[in-house]
Amino acid sequence: MSTTTPPLVDYDDALARFDPVIGIEVHVELGTATKMFDGASTEFGAEPNTQVTPVSLGLPGALPALNGKAVESAIKIGLALNCEIAELCRFARKNYFYPDVPKNFQTSQYDEPIAFDGWIDIELDDGEVVRVEIERAHMEEDAGKNTHVGGATGRIHGAEYSLVDYNRAGIPLVEIVTRPITGVGERAPEVARAYVQTLRDIFRALDVSEARMERGNVRADVNVSLRATPEAPLGTRTETKNVNSFRSVERAVRHEISRQAGVLDAGRTVTQETRHWHEDTGVTTAGRVKSDAEDYRYFPEPDLVPVAPSRAWVEEIRATLPEMPVARRRRLQTEWGYADAEMRDVVNAGAIELIEATVAAGAAPAAARKWWMGELARTAKTEGVELADLPVTPEQIGQLQQLVDAGRVNDKLARQVLSGVLAGEGSPEEVVTARGLEVVSDDGALVAAVDEALAAQPDVVEKIRGGNQGPIGAIIGAVMKATRGQADAGRVREIVLERVQQG
Amino acid sequence: MSTISREEVARLAGLARIDLTESELTRLAGELDVIVDSVAKVSEIATDDVAATSHPLPLTNVFRADVPEEPLPVADALAGAPSAEGGRFAVPQILEED
């Protein structure tokens, strides 16, 4: 058997000859205050092993107690994904040995997921809608976190030993599994990304998770297989684990399509295995071959009683579901009058809520978009933070825009006011007062400044009198300089013309 | 008639990380056979109108309120660890990542 890796096949070439089928498993960490089966806190970023109890650590005799809020969140997710909610379901033990699973089993659900048989419509960048069928959504618990010591990069290779922090062990997860997604062809990578993005938006809308990708709140495993034609049976799939950004989901699917096409072209067969995604190089590498290790010897968890959500409870929860993100986006786009491309940029920048609040604070939708997608987006990029994490509130942007609308500051001054707000100098009004940034609206002061500028450039006066308005800019520039940018350029222009005519 | 083979016991032992000798494999294959036969008798009685049971008490929906409780002090959490470093449990090199 050859061990060389067949070359990747060009993506378009691969798509011309193979039909890709994808499937996605998404894990979401629920935003409950405590873990799934014990009262340890779930707060992010605590010192190692400071958020553990005997249950989190799997100490002998420790017994799980199910978090009701987590069950409610799982039902919410199931309903938002148009699933049936089980009349009765159980937890099961998934047995395997790994240091981050302190009990030597993960408490999960096996053949009785809390939610099943759902679907969700996702919208691609060009507005095309694809329906993704959901096979199931089940409850389980997260594992601890391993740090590998001694390896050059903190990865397993070359590591001498590993350190384990169990703060994350037992944090409630819901795992959502799609049915095979077929018939999307070359758009498979985009569909995968849009699907994960849609789920992230739904988790946030439901308020069941902070759903922060960079913190690993949402993690995706992507399954890819190829077949010769859409009529052929499904090909052998690979599962690329823990792809943790939208862009990586898209890249990983694309890479697997090219890689598997190369394997098939070389006359070999795709190995059914888990694969690891490498963010830096954009490739996947072989992990564990699915074999005996897959034999998890599931059995019903004897320490927990079944969950049997009454239909009344399910309906009560359904009644609390908020407007779903896709519908909400459509409504807001219409209300705000944004073009498709503008709305897409706003969505991608995570600025919907910010703009909504800014509009509520009195700014016109166009102005709100201009601030958040312009000056503030640039600042966030420079600072390397999310828009929402900038030290300015939508209410302050609304106040700032009202100063502009009232003619009290011009665009240039408004940006200075904003930088003052961002620097923590207070509200826009306070910054205007403290820095003396208000537009000079006193004509007397402006006339004096204009006269001074005209006197300094007598040749310009002649030209303007002669009907050549070109040099007016030089006079306006001089006035703006003299007033430190605090004049209204339009008003200055009017005064210049008046003075020249009168002179 | 034996339904559990020695090979199956050996595989199960491997999955469960239990080191069994040849004679133990043979003995356990026989013992597990008896257990499986007994369970099979239950299957004969259990009909479609008998719900599967996973818990001896007829309870459902036993929930805990989502209220944080005092965690174990780190020193207690690590007390049973053969080795620890920086508040974390130190474990032998992990060979394969899942």
Total domains, chain B: 1
Looking at residue A269, what is its pLDDT?
Answer: 94
Answer whether A302 sits within 8 Å of B55, measured CB to CB.
Answer: yes
pLDDT tens per residue across span A336-380: 999 988 998 898 888 999 999 999 999 999 999 999 999 999 999
Integer Cα distance of A395 and A398 in angstroms: 5
Does residue B33 lie within any of the structural domains?
yes
- The stretch A299-321 carries a mean pLDDT of 97
Q: Which pLDDT does position A154 carry in this prediction?
A: 56
* Measured CA angle at A244 (ends A324, A282), to 5 deg: 130
Q: Are residues A258 and A357 in the same domain?
A: no
Question: DSSP letter at A154?
Answer: S
Task: Classify residue B95: in a domain, yes or no.
Answer: no
Q: Model ipTM?
A: 0.89
Helix (H) or strand (E) holding A276: strand A273-278
* CATH classification of the domain holding B36: 1.10.20
Residue of B nearest to A46 (CA): B87
Does A231 lie in the same domain as A108? Answer: yes
Burial class (CB in 10 A: 0-12, 13-18, 19+), A244: middle
Task: For residues A363 and A463, state if they share a domain.
Answer: no
Instruction: Report how many Cβ contacts below 8 Å link chain A to chain B.
Output: 144
Taking chain B (98 residues) in runs of 10, the rounded mean pLDDT of each run is 83 90 94 90 82 85 97 95 94 67
Q: At which of A404, A435, A466 does a domain end?
A: A435
Residue B34, in any domain of the structure = yes
Encode pLDDT of A392-429 as tens digits: 999 999 999 999 998 888 888 899 999 999 999 999 99
**How confident is the model over A77-107, as pLDDT tens digits?**
999 999 999 999 999 999 988 899 999 999 9
Domain count, chain A: 3
Residues of A in contact with B88 (CB under 8 A): 48-49, 147, 163-165
Return the residue in A49, A52, A57 with the most chain B beta carbons within 10 A, the one to mutate for interface testing.
A49
Q: Is there a single domain that holds both residue A243 and residue A349?
A: no
Of A119, A122, A133, A221, the closest CA to residue A180 belongs to A133
Could B93 and A160 be called an inter-chain contact, meaning their C-beta atoms sit closer than 8 Å?
Answer: yes
> How high is the mean pLDDT of chain A?
91
Interface of B with A in 22-51 (CB under 8 A): none
User: Is A69 among the domain residues?
Assistant: yes
Mutate to test the interface with A, among B74, B89, B95, B96 (most CBs of A within 10 A): B89
Band of the pLDDT at A185, cuts 50, 70, 90?
very high
Task: Write down which residue in A317, A339, A367 finishes a domain.
Answer: A317
Asked if the structure places residue B55 within a domain, the reply is no
pLDDT, mean of residues A20-38: 98
Q: What are phi and psi of A399, to 5 degrees?
A: -65, -40
pLDDT tier for residue A181 given thresholds of 50, 70 and 90: very high
Q: Inspect the interface and report whether the beta carbons of B54 and A306 lie closer than 8 Å.
A: yes
Residue A376 lies in a domain: yes
In three-state secondary structure terms, A76 is helix
Residue B78 touches partner A, C-beta closer than 8 Å:
yes
Whether A273 has a pLDDT exceeding 70, the answer reads yes
How confident is residue A159, by pLDDT bands cut at 50, 70 and 90?
low
**CATH number for the domain that contains residue A450:** 1.10.10.410
Task: Summarize the confidence of residues A136-156 as an average pLDDT.
Answer: 83
Cβ-defined contact of A165 to B74 (cutoff 8 Å): no
* Secondary structure (H, E, C), A423-481: CCCCCHHHHHHHHCCCCECCHHHHHHHHHHHHHHCHHHHHHHHCCCCCCHHHHHHHHHH
3-state secondary structure string, A216-241?
A: CCEEEEEEEEEECCCCCCCCCCEEEE
Pair of tokens at residue A251: 């890249």
Q: Does A27 touch chain B (CB under 8 A)?
A: no
* CB of A57 less than 8 A from some CB of B: yes
Do A328 and A236 reside in the same domain of the chain? no
Pick among A95, A163, A167 to test the B interface (most B CBs inside 10 A): A163
Cross-chain residue pair A163–B95, CB shorter than 8 Å: no
Same domain as A343, residue A303: no
**Cβ distance A169 to A144 under 8 Å?**
yes
Cα–Cα dist B19/B9, whole Å: 11
B58 in a structural domain: no
- In this structure, the answer to whether residues A116 and A204 fall within a common structural domain is yes
**B94 found inside a domain:** no
Tell me what pLDDT residue A315 has. 98
Those of residues 124-163 in A touching chain B at CB distance below 8 A are 146-150, 156, 159-163
Q: Is A242 part of the contact surface with chain B (CB cutoff 8 Å)? A: no
pLDDT at A291: 55
Q: Are residues A72 and A118 in the same domain?
A: yes
A352 in any annotated domain: yes
Among A230, A94, A90, A249, CA closest to A178: A249
Interface of A with B in 163-222 (CB under 8 A): 163-166
Task: State the sign of the Cα–Cα–Cα–Cα dihedral A135, A136, A137, A143.
Answer: negative
List the single range of A110-124, A246-260, A290-304 with lowest mean pLDDT.
A290-304
pLDDT on residue A373: 96
B21, part of any domain: yes
| Cβ within 8 Å, pair A164-B59 | no
Same domain, A352 and A304: no
A58 Cβ under 8 Å from any chain B Cβ: no
Candidate from B72, B86, B90 with C-beta closest to A161: B90
Top pLDDT among A396 and A492 is at A396
Determine, yes or no, domain membership for A4: no
Same domain assignment for residues A313 and A329: no
Domain with B26 in it? 6-45
Kindly state the average pLDDT of the residues A478-498.
82
Burial of A157 from C-beta contacts in 10 A (0-12 / 13-18 / 19+): exposed
Cβ pair A165:B61 closer than 8 A: no
- For residues A300 and A333, state if they share a domain: no
Is residue B25 domain-resident? Answer: yes
Shared domain check, A480 and A349: no
pLDDT of residue B68: 97
A95 lies within 8 A of chain B by CB: yes
CA distance B68 to A33: 7
Task: Residue A341: give the domain boundaries.
Answer: 323-435
How distant is the Cα of B15 from the closest Cα of chain A, in angstroms?
Answer: 8
CB contact under 8 A, A39 and B69: yes
